[in-house]
Amino acid sequence: MPYIEYSFKSFIFFMFFTCFVQPALSFVNPHIQNSIPDDGKTMDCTTIFGEKLGCSRPSVSSTRLDTSVKKLGVEASTPNQTISFFQQLDDLISHTAASSRGGEEVNFQEIADSIMSVEEIVVEANSQGATSKDMNSISGHINNILYNISDIMKISFIVNERVETDDVVTLLNPLKGLAGAAIIAAVEGEADTTQTVYYLGDIVTDSLQGAEDAGIVSNTGRIIGSAGGIVNNTIERLPTDAEFQTIVKSTLDDLQVALNQIIGQTTENIKDKAVNNSYVSKAGGSLTDRADDSFDRDDFKSLMIKVSDLTTSMIKRKAVLNNELSGTMQNLSLETIKNILPAFIPKNMSGLRNSKSDIEKLLTDYPQLLNEVINIASVNLTSGMLITKENISELIKDKTSLTAEEKTILINGLPALPVFDQDIIQSGDMPLSLVDLLSKALENPQYQLSGSTVEVISSKGLSLMVLLRNESKGIEIPLYIQDARVVSTIIPSGLHVLPEGTVILVSNGIAGIITPAPLDAVDTLLSADALLKIENLFGSDKKEISDLNVSNSGNFNITFKDGTKFSGAFGYGTSKEGDGEFDAGTSSFELQMTDPASEAYSVLVTYSNGTTQTLSPSIAAIEQLVKVLDTLAAGSYTLDKTTGIFTVMGMRFKPSYLIEPIATSEQTWFKANRDSNSIAWETKDYNGDGAVDLKMWTSGIVGIAEGKQIIYTVLK
């Protein structure tokens, strides 16, 4: 709802609300402040500081009652005591609401202190044998509390026009626990959750719309984050998907209002700072000249993360973003880009003009820059719907064909990826999943993939991947969709290949992060022992595996007990498609060529149905190397994931499969020679072909990237 901006309007609204609306609501609404649930129990009045609570409206200050009510909550050890506590709390909040209606200023901190730890109190009561009737009584008191808190917020915002962000956040943070308590009590008390969810949605609406300085990016982020806590806990506690639709719809609408507010306020701030307010329509001034004019970059990043967290928590429970909200998110992405882009522009681009064409060319020519911009200035749609270890464990627990050891390998080794076929966003009247978005994007004639099919493939019901097929071109490409994000339409559409081989597919304001995948990750993991039999790669000494996994970027990583590591990456495409069925653990591995500096040097994986796929050596510390190359050779390096060849300013390199551990005796040399990215370099002809090769030392990095890896110079 729009803010009431003028004192006269505020006065008229307040008088109307107080004299007419409030009495009417009190008459018809069973949850108004004077209502105490009829639970059939006789409650003893509790005397605190000479005042009787639980049987009469308190008349002492809320500060004194706050301490006493909190004490009652801490000491509550039986269901009756818990009901008594919530009756006291109900009295306290009702008294505060009445004072607010009378024009008194409300101390939000006191209210927040009063409702601390209520979720734990309800959980404890439930575990101590509270009956359904007990929980129903608690639910009624909590609904009354929620109603009055919502009323307090409305009155405060009307009388004061707006309140400080700190006050809003102070109240919202403990309301997360009260939301959880409300749903638990309603469900266990067999009460209708509709009213509870309505009140919670009302509070979220009030908070998103009512903060005085919410137009400041950091404050909007704080409010959305705190309101998101309420929504998330409500959603997590609701037992069925159908029951949470009310709060989701309300929150999506409220989120759109809040984001439109920040967009409008940010535009005004940009004007105030004498920054051009539209990259899209204005073409004046050099972007590099205004790098210092950017502001609140960290705040914008934090805001986008908070919006993503709130959005994905709802998508996790099958919510679908509507056209209006996704459009608002695209606008928010544009405002964020306006503020962060100047700081990322390479120094050699000093002539870049502030125009849509120049911006698109910059992001197209510098895919790593595009990646950084998308990582910050986007709303992630998929982080809340990942297939986790817990999901995989649940799927395979009854599979008698797998041994306990094989189940452990799969639980720890399969990647955490989003659900590819769940609807997440609307396009026109159609809800679309990740697979739908990919299919729709590939219809673009520029890709020359007309007639392609995109389908979700399940490997023995466990590992999902997306298979792109085009029979006329003989193409079959297994893919992982790492995530999908809402981005501004100023981000150039098309396929953008990052230097490390990942592809960003941008279409109609959605960016999908795509990597090659193994055709069958289950076969690959369970057949790892067969890979170790390649003596030209691992030698004759038997190596014992301590850990192995397929990452969401399509890499196959193995760590051995002696500290040595193996890093390989699957390329785009397969060949020799077979007709047989897959049988777990029957893949075979064959080394192609013996010269590690040869372009064709790779491992050929043959799956149980006869299909083959290339597994090329991969640079383990790719993220650290990219940081170095962005400084030394920005825009002048690429990686071919199919061959593993890394090209830097025309020179070609290829990594080894193995990463050796850094010995204790080598630490002194490493520490003396490492750079700010914790990388040290050693040069030598490691394969005897006359060319100088490199050995990259990396440390301080968790996982596969730590150690020493040879990078060969490729001569032909």
- Summarised one tens digit per residue, pLDDT across range 25-52 is 333 333 333 333 444 433 333 332 233 3
Residue 678's alpha-carbon distances to 107, 329, 660, 673, in angstroms, are 51, 37, 16, 9
Q: Is the pLDDT of residue 177 over 80?
A: yes
* DSSP letter assigned to residue 382: S
**Which helix H or strand E contains 565, and what residues bound it?**
strand 565-570
Q: Which residues contact 379 (CB under 8 A, 6 or more apart)?
A: 304, 307, 308, 311, 329, 332, 333, 485, 486
Beta bridge partners of 304: none
- Percent of all residues in the chain with a pLDDT value above 90, rounded to a whole number: 20
Q: Is the pLDDT of residue 74 over 60?
A: no
Residue 210's alpha-carbon distances to 155, 158, 257, 338, in angstroms, are 11, 9, 11, 26
Beta bridge partners of 569: 555, 616
Q: Is the pLDDT of residue 470 over 70?
A: yes
Provide the pLDDT for residue 282: 36
Report residue 236 as tokens. 């997590």
Q: Which residues contact 552 (CB under 8 A, 6 or more apart)?
A: 415, 416, 417, 480, 482, 515
| pLDDT band, residue 560 (cuts 50/70/90) | very high
For residues 262 and 219, give the distance between their C-alpha atoms in angstroms, rounded to a whole number: 10
Beta bridge partners of 589: 605
- Percent of all residues in the chain with a pLDDT value above 70, rounded to a whole number: 75
| Structure confidence by residue, pLDDT tens digits, 393-416 | 888 887 888 889 989 999 999 998
For residues 150 and 235, give the distance between their C-alpha atoms in angstroms, rounded to a whole number: 19
* DSSP letter assigned to residue 446: G
Beta bridge partners of 494: 506
> Pick from 56, 147, 137: which is nearest to 97 by CA?
147
Query: How high is the mean pLDDT of the chain?
Result: 77
* DSSP letter assigned to residue 128: T
Beta strands in 356-428 (DSSP E): 379-380, 425-427
Mean pLDDT over residues 113-141, rounded? 88
Q: Do the Cβ atoms of 503 and 495 come closer than 8 Å?
A: yes
Q: Do the Cβ atoms of 620 and 705 come closer than 8 Å?
A: yes
Q: Is the pLDDT of residue 448 over 80?
A: no
Provide the pLDDT for residue 20: 39
Q: Among 139-143, 263-267, 578-582, whose mean pLDDT is lowest?
A: 578-582
| pLDDT band, residue 293 (cuts 50/70/90) | very low
Q: How far is CA 275 from the centre of its chain?
A: 31
Q: Is the pLDDT of residue 61 over 70?
A: no
For residues 77 and 646, give the distance between their C-alpha atoms in angstroms, rounded to a whole number: 66
| pLDDT band, residue 461 (cuts 50/70/90) | low
Q: Is the pLDDT of residue 152 over 80?
A: yes
Q: Among 145-154, 323-332, 445-454, 703-712, whose mean pLDDT is lowest?
A: 445-454
Provide the pLDDT for residue 484: 92
| Structure confidence by residue, pLDDT tens digits, 81-111 | 888 889 888 998 998 888 888 888 888 888 8
More confident residue, 444 or 69: 444
> Pick from 612, 416, 603, 414: which is nearest to 521 by CA?
414
Provide the pLDDT for residue 10: 39
Residue at 418: amino acid letter: P
User: Which is it for the CA torsion 627, 632, 637, 643, positive or negative?
Assistant: negative
Residue 83's alpha-carbon distances to 87, 175, 185, 260, in angstroms, are 6, 19, 11, 42
Residue at 606: amino acid letter: T
Q: Are strands 494-497 and 503-507 parallel, antiparallel or unpaired?
A: antiparallel
Mean pLDDT over residues 303-332, rounded? 85
Q: Is the pLDDT of residue 215 over 80?
A: no
Provide the pLDDT for residue 286: 44
* DSSP letter assigned to residue 491: S
Q: Is the pLDDT of residue 207 over 80?
A: no
Q: Is the pLDDT of residue 4 over 60?
A: no
CA angle at residue 634 from 630 to 639, to 5 degrees? 85
At 448 the three-state DSSP class reads coil
Q: Which of 153-157, 186-190, 202-206 has the highest mean pLDDT?
A: 186-190
> Pick from 646, 683, 655, 536: which is nearest to 597 by CA?
655
Provide the pLDDT for residue 274: 37
Q: Per residue, what are the HEC states of 616-661?
A: EECCCCHHHHHHHHHHHCCCCEEECCCCCCEEECCEEEEEEEEEEC
At 310 the three-state DSSP class reads helix
More confident residue, 681 or 626: 681
Q: How many CA atoms lie within 13 A of 55 on its CB side?
A: 10
Mean pLDDT over residues 615-643, rounded? 83
Q: Is the pLDDT of residue 601 over 90?
A: yes
Q: Do the Cβ atoms of 149 and 93 come closer than 8 Å?
A: yes
Other C-beta atoms lying within 10 Å of the C-beta of residue 352: 19
Provide the pLDDT for residue 101: 83
Q: Is the pLDDT of residue 363 over 80?
A: yes
Q: Is the pLDDT of residue 322 over 50?
A: yes
Provide the pLDDT for residue 242: 59
Q: Is the pLDDT of residue 575 over 80?
A: no
Provide the pLDDT for residue 209: 66
Q: Do the Cβ atoms of 52 and 10 come closer than 8 Å?
A: no
Q: Is the pLDDT of residue 586 over 80?
A: no
Q: Among 58-67, 248-257, 268-277, 651-660, whose mean pLDDT is lowest?
A: 58-67
Four-CA torsion 659, 661, 663, 666, nearest 10 degrees: 40
Q: Is the pLDDT of residue 66 over 60?
A: no
Provide the pLDDT for residue 463: 61
Q: Is the pLDDT of residue 285 over 50?
A: no
For residues 481 and 484, give the distance between their C-alpha atoms in angstroms, rounded to a whole number: 8
* DSSP letter assigned to residue 46: E
Mean pLDDT over residues 210-227, rounded? 70
**Which helix H or strand E contains 204, and what residues bound it?**
helix 194-210
Provide the pLDDT for residue 714: 94
| pLDDT band, residue 318 (cuts 50/70/90) | confident
